[in-house]
Structure 1
Amino acid sequence: MLSASEYFWRMIRLAVTVALMSACRTSQDEYVPWNSDMYGPSYGKPPQCVDIPEDLRLCHNVGYNQMLLPNLLEHETMAEVKQQASSWVPLVYKNCHPGTQVFLCSLFAPVCLERPIYPCRWLCEAVRDGCTPIMEAFGFPWPEMLTCDKFPQGDVCIAMTQPNATEASKPTGYSPICPPCDHEMKTDAMLEHMCASEFAFKAKIREVKRENMDRKVILQKRKKMLKEGNLSKKDMKTLVLYLKNGADCPCQQLDNLGNQYLIMGRKVDKQHLLTGIHKWDKSSKEFKKAVKKLKTHKCPAFENVFK
């Protein structure tokens, strides 16, 4: 029996194939080759159908087993695909939109068909609008390579739900918690926050204030550095962090100022953003495991993707 995901992608492939046969029915002379500007980037070699490897975490479980390489983002080698795609795995786990994985994998690991099929523009816009607030909380903009205007509106394209999908389409487990405060004692979440950060330290919080749509986090003077990044001693003395767009979302950690916290952040423009906050609790196995891995964990290269 097919799983729901396998059935879904089988139906997509069937529908797209039928539509393509219809579009190409006039004559063989009208067939548009892969390297046409109408259908995306020009490749140095024709795309090949290859197995999706297990360590391509973003798309290994997406519902089909093979992909085109080069892909629709002009990544020519599997090593490049893996490196670029790994930066997006945490976003899928944040559940910011139910179509996030389908949208990203239609580009990073496109399904094997006779012609490249891009995601629908409205799907891109829905994922962008749902996920941008979470990305901005960590100081990352929506990247230029995913500008939605470049994707088709009415042509054959990859979709997931209806364009007029409502709030009810949000996945089970969707949480309004401020992204840097989410899943406090999960090792994977702590490591993801660390990877989105330039510095990390142990400290107490003196005061939290609302400033426009952000929350301003004022720290106590004593801090134990775990990851210095580009912070100077002068920066450390006057360091103030901002929870971006976090004025109204829940953050339990900021409600109790008596605890010690593992605090992470990164500098964006002239502000230092709070990208992760976790209670300093050595009785937690998850916490001890995460802290132990902080210095050796290999992070994806976000800077190569989000620009």
Structure 2
Amino acid sequence: MIPARRMIPACRTRRPSWGSPWLLVLLLLGGSPGAGASYLRRSSSCTAIPSSMALCYDIGYAEMRIPNLLEHETMPEVIQQSSSWLPLLARECHPDARIFLCSLFAPICLDRLIYPCRSLCEAVKRSCAPVMACYGYPWPEILHCNKFPADHELCISAVSTEETSSSRRTVPRASCKDCELEEASTAREILESLCASDFAVKIRIFRKNTTTSISDFDLDPLQVEVLKHGPLLRTEIPGRLRQWLDIDATCAHNIMRGTHAGLFVVSGEAQSDKVVVNKAYAWHRNRNLHQAVRRWKQHRCPEQPGRKV
């Protein structure tokens, strides 16, 4: 289990609404109970999900079973252990991470205990375990996916769906390297940063929706100005940046800071299969950035082998 200390930098996220209190019931797949549904122990009881349990409060149902499916016997223990996962949830590693965790920490009150489906566990693990590994934490044995029932049994399935077509998008997840909006940089510092980067682009980023737990970002193709393409082709940069917006939701979220749209200069590293943004500057009312961009065309960077302007 992830220790309670703050091991992952949290960013602000909206608490998703799962709608009707019966939504989870509708997600239960039909089939024989098998390992997916256990009859209740006599000591098990229903209790209200307290507001202090931030992980699962207001998730769409009001009461939970205790002891829970992780064998936590008391509410203080449940609250303490569940809060350990809030930083990971804030990293937006998978849209179903919250429902998976709450199915275990705060199982819904039915006439039997319902476990998450193995496929739900595997999907969340696939996206979230690499983020945990960034900070030195393995996926805990208590959440080993083989312990959970197969999809044909009675269990809680995924809420989000992945397209099966060739245009299927990667589930947004955070990268190991944090990125933040740069503050109070001088024009000289910005120029030095552009010289040290593989690429630099002035782009307009906007949110495509405001209703899901994972923010969905895109860029305006009419407002893409390539300042430096380095090893990349100018024509491939918009596509690479769209891929970055898809797979690094936390970085984009940090840069946007709750705004619906904005103009930014971003720079970073070009890897074989993706780009990694490590610097971002807000264009609005940033005189030093405006000055640096004006000077960039005439600016001569120090010789750096292997880099192209």
Instruction: Tell me the TM-score normalised to structure 1 length.
Output: 0.49
Instruction: Tell me the TM-score normalised to structure 2 length.
Output: 0.48
More helix by share: 1
Which structure has more relative contact order (CA 8 Å, sep 6+)? It is 2
